[in-house]
């Protein structure tokens, strides 16, 4: 059964953040809150972690995994941000947005889209999530905690423990996260396209 870590949402205890980060470094899988519901997360090179996320969510090979980044500089190491898209993406970070972009060579191939060689990336507006990514020193490979057959993602630590506590190593309880998934914007084409309307305002792209 997963270990439940109760972390203060505004002032995350460094000891507990480091404990969760060490679980990730050791090959574990965690469920953690973001500004747009819970996410499953593992280390970038964790092949077993990707397989566990795929199994829990019953994902297909076309699923875009997300790089949970600490800041814009880190995001830029793992995805290719065109000059034309720079200002739009910068203005939406941190926030409840996931950006689909071409991946750099720093991204493991197994987490890229098999044909587009693209990946999702985001910078959350959540203190605990940001502290965890900072402790890792690299992005956390993540996926929204939306279980098969459910219309809404999980947003409460108790529900996460009840439903998948036996399938993850750590569940972080750090207040109630956002309850709506991120808005997803695809920047891999000639013009940005809204792939999913979620928590973030996407009106600027729908008006084009």
- Section 183-205 average pLDDT: 93
Domain ranges of the chain: 13-149+186-191
Q: Residue 84 CB: number of other CB atoms within 10 A?
A: 11
Residues whose CB falls within 8 Å of the CB of residue 4, separated by 6 or more in sequence, listed in order: 157, 161, 170, 171, 173
User: 74-115: per-residue pLDDT in tens?
Assistant: 999 999 999 889 999 999 999 999 999 999 999 988 888 888
CA distance 89 to 106: 20
What is the reported pTM? 0.94
Q: Which of 49-53, 67-71, 98-102, 149-153 has the lowest mean pLDDT?
A: 149-153
Closest by alpha carbon to 68, among 27, 37, 91, 113? 37
Between 178 and 93, residue with greater pLDDT? 93
pLDDT band at 70 (very low <50, low <70, confident <90, very high): very high
Write phi, then psi, for 6 (nearest 5 degrees): -95, 110
**Could you tell me if 125 and 96 are in contact, meaning their C-beta atoms sit under 8 angstroms apart?**
yes
Provide the pLDDT for residue 177.
84
Q: Top-level CATH class of 13-149+186-191?
A: alpha beta
The confidence score (pLDDT) of residue 38 equals: 95
| Cβ neighbours of residue 87 closer than 8 Å, sequence gap 6 or more | none
Q: What is the pLDDT of residue 61?
A: 81
d(CA 167, CA 150) in angstroms, rounded, equals: 17
């Amino acid at each position: 059964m997963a270990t439940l870590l109760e972390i203060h949402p505004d002032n995350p205890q460094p000891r507990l953040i480091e404990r969760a980060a060490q679980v990730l470094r050791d090959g574990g899988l965690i469920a953690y809150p973001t500004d747009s519901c819970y996410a499953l997360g593992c280390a970038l090179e964790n092949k077993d972690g990707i397989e566990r996320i795929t199994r829990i969510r019953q994902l297909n090979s076309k699923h875009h995994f997300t790089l949970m980044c600490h800041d814009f500089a880190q995001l830029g190491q793992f995805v290719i941000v065109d000059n034309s898209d720079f200002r739009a993406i910068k203005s939406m970070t941190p926030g409840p947005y996931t950006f689909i972009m071409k991946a750099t060579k720093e991204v493991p191939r197994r987490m890229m889209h098999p044909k587009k060689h693209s990946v999702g990336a985001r910078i959350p507006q959540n203190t605990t999530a940001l502290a965890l990514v900072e402790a890792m020193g690299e992005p956390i490979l993540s996926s929204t905690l939306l279980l098969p057959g459910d219309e809404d993602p999980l947003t409460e630590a108790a529900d996460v423990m009840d439903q998948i506590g036996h399938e993850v190593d750590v569940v972080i309880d750090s207040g109630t996260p956002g309850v709506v998934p991120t808005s997803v914007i695809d920047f891999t084409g000639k013009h940005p396209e809204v792939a999913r309307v979620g928590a973030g305002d996407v009106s600027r792209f729908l008006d084009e």
